[in-house]
Amino acid sequence: MPLSESEFRVLADQAPVMFWRSDLEMACDWFNEPWLTFTGRTLEQEVGVGWQDGVHAEDLEKCLEVYHSSFRKREPFTMEYRLRRADGAYRFVLDNGRPYYRDGQFAGYFGSCVDVTSHRETEQQLVEALAERDVLLRELYHRVRNNLQSVLALVRLSTRGADPGGQALLGVLDRRVSAMALAQKSLQALDPLGAIPIRQVVASAVEDANAVNPSLSVKVEAAASEGVIPTDQASSFMLGLAEAIAILSNGRLGAKLVIGFAADDTVTIEALPPRADLLDEKIALLLVRQYARSAGFDMEAEPQGNSIAFRKR
């Protein structure tokens, strides 16, 4: 059974939302009790164009422009503006209006308003917090990069006076510290909120590996899924990838790798030809395993020496 207008008004006055209605001339002819309580004004003061007195002077022109334009086109609208509360404070309200009809004939507009000031304040606090976070992250990345550069300088200085065996070991250390420095730089560029696509992290790791070993050839196959990794785990994942690439290529000129993706977000790095002594890299593989675990993955090294896989837990 349809509600009568009087029954509707009783319900509207009990609703936790401000309602208004306008006639065919764009003049408002009714406001519910929550609206009147919010503004601290009487119905007689608000009807017609009286409600406009409560709209902030800086918002009134835009408010009327949206209202009049939508009314002429008979289209729904949504807008925000500041409305003066009974205590004199201006609050942001979200106003949704739409045309209504009686017996199939256009009869005017009906709308609802809710106070969204607290939401806007929360958004502003989030923006400020994110800005502060970005400053801190930039400072952190800067310090980490400087520390890694200092380590690299020390390694390269030590290499000059080392014997051939020491030079070989220090050369491996040089490549891996360089990979860490490049990973930190890439992560700074990839640092969005929430998560980073796994394929994007892999692509950055490959780019960094090519910078360390320009003769390295890496083929990256098409991803089988749109998997992502949380931002706070991306650093460990990228460092694990960098270490795995370094192990499989082993500094070999012209080394070739193929990186594939499975539907379950497993990432497999395969060496062509296989590195027969892969499992001899026990300490290095242990490091990769720790990086993988920190990123939410398990690491598996293929016994025949041709691949290292990162399987998502």
DSSP structural state of residue 48 = B
Spatial separation of the C-alpha atoms in residues 168 and 172, rounded to whole Å: 6
The average pLDDT across 119-126 equals 84
Between 170 and 137, the higher pLDDT residue: 170
Asked if the model's pLDDT at residue 172 lies above 60, the reply is: yes
Which pLDDT belongs to residue 255?
A: 84
Q: Count of CB atoms within 10 A of residue 254's CB?
A: 9
**Fold designation for 120-312:** Heat Shock Protein 90 (3.30.565)
The tokens for 98 are 């739409």
Place of tokens 């004939």: 105
The average pLDDT across 82-97 equals 96
Query: For the domain 5-115, what is the CATH superfamily, name and number?
Result: PAS domain (3.30.450.20)
Which pLDDT belongs to residue 25?
A: 92
List, for residues 216-228, the tens digit of each pLDDT value: 899 999 887 788 8
pTM metric for this prediction: 0.50
Phi/psi of residue 190, nearest 5 degrees: -95, 10
List, for residues 224-277, the tens digit of each pLDDT value: 778 888 887 888 888 889 889 888 887 677 789 999 999 999 999 999 888 888
State the amino acid at position 140 in one-letter form: L
Cα distances from 185 to residues 1, 130, 162, 175, in angstroms, run 67, 20, 30, 15
Residue 90: band (very low, low, confident or very high) from pLDDT cuts 50, 70, 90: very high
The average pLDDT across 162-186 equals 70
Diameter of the chain measured on Cα atoms: 98
Residue 144: band (very low, low, confident or very high) from pLDDT cuts 50, 70, 90: low
Which pLDDT belongs to residue 149?
A: 64
- Delimiting residues of CATH 3.30.565.10 domain(s) in the chain: 120-312
Between 119 and 127, the higher pLDDT residue: 119
- The pLDDT > 70 percentage for the chain reads 81
Strand 217-220 vs strand 256-261: parallel, antiparallel, or unpaired?
A: parallel
The tokens for 164 are 């051939």
Which pLDDT belongs to residue 89?
A: 96
Phi/psi of residue 55, nearest 5 degrees: -80, 135
Mean predicted lDDT score pLDDT of the chain: 84
State the amino acid at position 207 in one-letter form: E
Spatial separation of the C-alpha atoms in residues 162 and 159, rounded to whole Å: 5
Between 307 and 12, the higher pLDDT residue: 307
Which pLDDT belongs to residue 108?
A: 95
The tokens for 250 are 């082993």
Spatial separation of the C-alpha atoms in residues 173 and 168, rounded to whole Å: 9
- Cβ-contact 26, 49 below 8 angstroms: no
Spatial separation of the C-alpha atoms in residues 197 and 224, rounded to whole Å: 12
- Secondary element (H or E) of residue 282: helix 282-294
State the amino acid at position 288 in one-letter form: V
Which pLDDT belongs to residue 181?
A: 66
- The pLDDT > 90 percentage for the chain reads 41
- Delimiting residues of CATH 3.30.450.20 domain(s) in the chain: 5-115
Which pLDDT belongs to residue 163?
A: 82
Q: Count of CB atoms within 10 A of residue 301's CB?
A: 21
Strand 217-220 vs strand 228-230: parallel, antiparallel, or unpaired?
A: unpaired
In the chain, the N- to C-terminal Cα span, in Å, equals 56
Residue 204: band (very low, low, confident or very high) from pLDDT cuts 50, 70, 90: confident
